[in-house]
Amino acid sequence: MRILVTNDDGIDSPGIYALTQSLKEIGEVIVIAPQKGQSAVGHAITMQIPLRVTKSFKDGKFFGHAVSGTPADCVKIGIRNIMKETPDLVVSGINHGSNTAINIIYSGTVSAAREAAIMDVPSMAVSITNHEVTDFRFAAKISKMLAKEFAGKGIPLGTLLNINIPDVPEEEIAGILLTKQGKSKWDEVYDHRVDPQGRDYYWLTGNLMEVDKAMDTDQIAIKNNYVSVSPIHFDLTDYKTFNKMKTWNIERLLNGKKN
Amino acid sequence: MRILVTNDDGIDSPGIYALTQSLKEIGEVIVIAPQKGQSAVGHAITMQIPLRVTKSFKDGKFFGHAVSGTPADCVKIGIRNIMKETPDLVVSGINHGSNTAINIIYSGTVSAAREAAIMDVPSMAVSITNHEVTDFRFAAKISKMLAKEFAGKGIPLGTLLNINIPDVPEEEIAGILLTKQGKSKWDEVYDHRVDPQGRDYYWLTGNLMEVDKAMDTDQIAIKNNYVSVSPIHFDLTDYKTFNKMKTWNIERLLNGKKN
């Protein structure tokens, strides 16, 4: 199995290193990741400036390809140019900080896996609920287990699996659950400050308002120490509203036209 | 009706100016838009650096607030800080270039409207199928008509309306259609070049592979000169795969755990 590994924290992050070491036990791994941290870039792609690709080394040995762009860029240029053939699996992570509920929208980690899904390559995004230095051993082990399992089962084309792992000792992990994207959102505040030149500036801050209750949502699963696995796709059509809007008869708005 | 207008081409773009002038006929408009062009930034938000907000003028008169961030940032800081109260409607555009099919994923224009939907504010994204200087008159007129219509009907919470307008003379517009996100994707190529210092660089380029056929998809509607209106949401759960994965029994993978 050939596995493309990427992330959004940058190629020097400990999370991608732990993931890579673990996945090497089940396949051939190629690392293609952003040169610099790219948290919260969402599904940004680089079009106005060209991309650069450089070799990245760890302990004097070649580790992977560093791309001067976003996580989605890494998957695109990785599959189109750097790799000689399409990988069997793309794994993005291990991200510092969970990617559950509304955070999926902002996440570079998930967007890299989503870019793979768009390219019809099976993919997984992996995040751990911790923003500080942490022990990635269990997260790396479960990533390997799930990569093997899901590659075997066959992730449906156009779907990515979004995996969130609680940052607790392995013996406290409650199990693993199939989940849906939660509905919890941020209650944001901009922290207004004044710089030494007297000019205003604003820092984004806020708290996640937890509205989810069901154990089969990503947000509640990780809160209860379950590893969460959610299937995510990129068909954004709101079919419920689509059906409702049929009764609005919007075609009448351009009367005198052909329809 | 109080309308927050934003875009991804930047506050100096002619598209946002045409949109603003037209929407002023049906409500009180406040412009809060990126200082610089932000195409293809997706749903990126600014967290690592603070935001700046400056006043922008047109013909010597105050036009709007310029934000040193992304389209999603503009909606967040616009609603949380700049405006005194939540707007009745957010309109993002008029974007140079259609946002149909897979392009919705990458679009800053759509992401601004999506950020509004996340904040429970009714919203629309408006794009025209033209990347050059163009005549925005019809697009601005139809945007006003649809803003009035949809604000009256009540856009369901959590949904945004993605509107695409063919860049043809008004008399060639075939009508208006309710559509779904198409499935057309990019066949991408990285154009590899060498700079004067002998270093490699890569430009993203490619063609949209049109796989859609049905008239009720955004991609085919605009191709046939229809104004396209698609309801879009941010629940990314792939329910079909979710149901399929129930039979995978992934809970067994962590045997010996509580569940």
The pLDDT tens digits for A215-248 are: 999 999 999 999 999 999 999 999 999 999 999 9
Judge whether residue B11 has pLDDT over 50.
Answer: yes
With CA atoms as reference, the chain A residue closest to B105 would be: A43
Mean pLDDT of B171-177: 95
Q: Report pLDDT for A259.
A: 45
Mean pLDDT of B152-181: 96
Q: Is A253 left (phi over 0), alpha (psi -120 to 50) or beta?
A: alpha
Backbone CA torsion sign across A217, B233, B242, A122: negative
- Among residues B24, B37, B31, the alpha carbon closest in space to that of B53 is found at B31
Gap from B147 CA to chain A (nearest CA, Å): 12
Q: Report pLDDT for B114.
A: 97
CA distances from B174 to A46, B104, B125, B161 (A): 35, 23, 20, 20
- Among residues A114, A38, A41, the alpha carbon closest in space to that of B44 is found at A41
With CA atoms as reference, the chain B residue closest to A248 would be: B153
Residues in chain A closer than 8 A to B42 (CB atoms): 41-45, 72, 111
Q: What is the C-alpha to C-alpha distance for residues B251 and B75, in angstroms, rounded to an integer?
A: 40
Structure tokens at B69: 């961030």
Gap from A12 CA to chain B (nearest CA, Å): 18
The structural domains of chain A, ordered by start, are 2-182+211-254 (3.40.1210.10)
Judge whether residue B259 has pLDDT over 50.
Answer: no
Q: How many CB atoms lie within 10 A of CB A25?
A: 11
Q: Give percent of chain A above pLDDT 70.
A: 98
Judge whether residue B56 has pLDDT over 60.
Answer: yes
Q: Report pLDDT for A257.
A: 60
Q: What is the C-alpha to C-alpha distance for residues B108 and A43, in angstroms, rounded to an integer?
A: 9
Q: Do A204 and B45 touch (CB under 8 A)?
A: yes
Q: Report pLDDT for B40.
A: 79
Gap from A191 CA to chain B (nearest CA, Å): 9
Q: How many CB atoms lie within 10 A of CB A249?
A: 9
Q: Under a CB-based contact definition with an 8 Å cutoff, are residues A94 and A6 in contact? A: no
Question: Higher confidence at residue A127 or residue B130?
Answer: A127
Mean pLDDT of B156-168: 96
Q: Do B253 and A146 touch (CB under 8 A)?
A: yes
Judge whether residue A99 has pLDDT over 90.
Answer: yes
- Among residues B216, B218, B210, the alpha carbon closest in space to that of B181 is found at B218
Mean pLDDT of A49-62: 96
Judge whether residue A258 has pLDDT over 80.
Answer: no
- Whether omega for the bond prior to residue B94 falls within 30 degrees of 0, making it cis, is yes
Segment A118-138, tens digit of pLDDT? 999 999 999 999 877 789 999
With CA atoms as reference, the chain B residue closest to A237 would be: B232
pTM of the shown model = 0.94
Across A46-50, B122-126, B151-155, which has the greatest mean pLDDT?
A: B122-126
- Among residues A28, A37, A35, the alpha carbon closest in space to that of A56 is found at A35
Q: What is the C-alpha to C-alpha distance for residues A256 and B11, in angstroms, rounded to an integer?
A: 35
Residue to test with chain B: of A146, A233, A236, most B Cβ within 10 A: A236
Closest CB to A178: pick one of B106, B159, B245.
Answer: B245
Residues in chain A closer than 8 A to B238 (CB atoms): 156, 158-159, 231-233, 235
Q: Do A156 and B244 touch (CB under 8 A)?
A: yes
Residues in chain A closer than 8 A to B199 (CB atoms): 52
With CA atoms as reference, the chain A residue closest to B189 would be: A80
- Among residues B141, B150, B111, B109, the alpha carbon closest in space to that of B126 is found at B109
Judge whether residue B96 has pLDDT over 80.
Answer: yes
Residue to test with chain B: of A162, A241, A243, A259, most B Cβ within 10 A: A241
Q: Report pLDDT for A38.
A: 82
Residues in chain B closer than 8 A to A153 (CB atoms): 248
Kind plus residue range of the DSSP H or E element containing A28: strand A28-34
- Mean pLDDT computed over every residue of chain B: 94
Residues in chain B closer than 8 A to A158 (CB atoms): 238
Q: Do A181 and B235 touch (CB under 8 A)?
A: yes
Task: Return the residue matching tokens 């809970």.
Answer: B251
CA distances from B161 to B100, B122, B186 (A): 12, 9, 23
Kind plus residue range of the DSSP H or E element containing A65: strand A61-67
Residue to test with chain A: of B189, B238, B244, most A Cβ within 10 A: B238
Where are the alpha helices (H) located in B27-107, listed in sequence order? 71-77, 103-106
Gap from B235 CA to chain A (nearest CA, Å): 7
Residues in chain B closer than 8 A to A234 (CB atoms): 102, 105, 236
Q: Do B245 and A231 touch (CB under 8 A)?
A: yes
Q: Report pLDDT for B256.
A: 54
Kind plus residue range of the DSSP H or E element containing B147: helix B137-153
Helix axes B137-153, B14-23, angle to 10 degrees: 50
Q: Under a CB-based contact definition with an 8 Å cutoff, are residues A75 and A157 in contact? A: no
CA distances from A3 to A23, A26, A43 (A): 8, 9, 21
Q: Do B177 and A251 touch (CB under 8 A)?
A: yes
Q: Report pLDDT for A85.
A: 87
Q: What is the C-alpha to C-alpha distance for residues B253 and B193, in angstroms, rounded to an integer?
A: 47
A31 forms beta bridges with: A5
Judge whether residue A162 has pLDDT over 90.
Answer: yes
Q: Do A111 and B42 touch (CB under 8 A)?
A: yes
Q: Do B41 and A42 touch (CB under 8 A)?
A: yes
Mean pLDDT of B177-186: 96
Closest CB to A200: pick one of B53, B190, B240.
Answer: B53
Mean pLDDT of B34-49: 88
Residues in chain B closer than 8 A to A44 (CB atoms): 40-42, 44, 106
Judge whether residue A169 has pLDDT over 50.
Answer: yes
Give the pairing of strands B185-194 and B28-34: unpaired
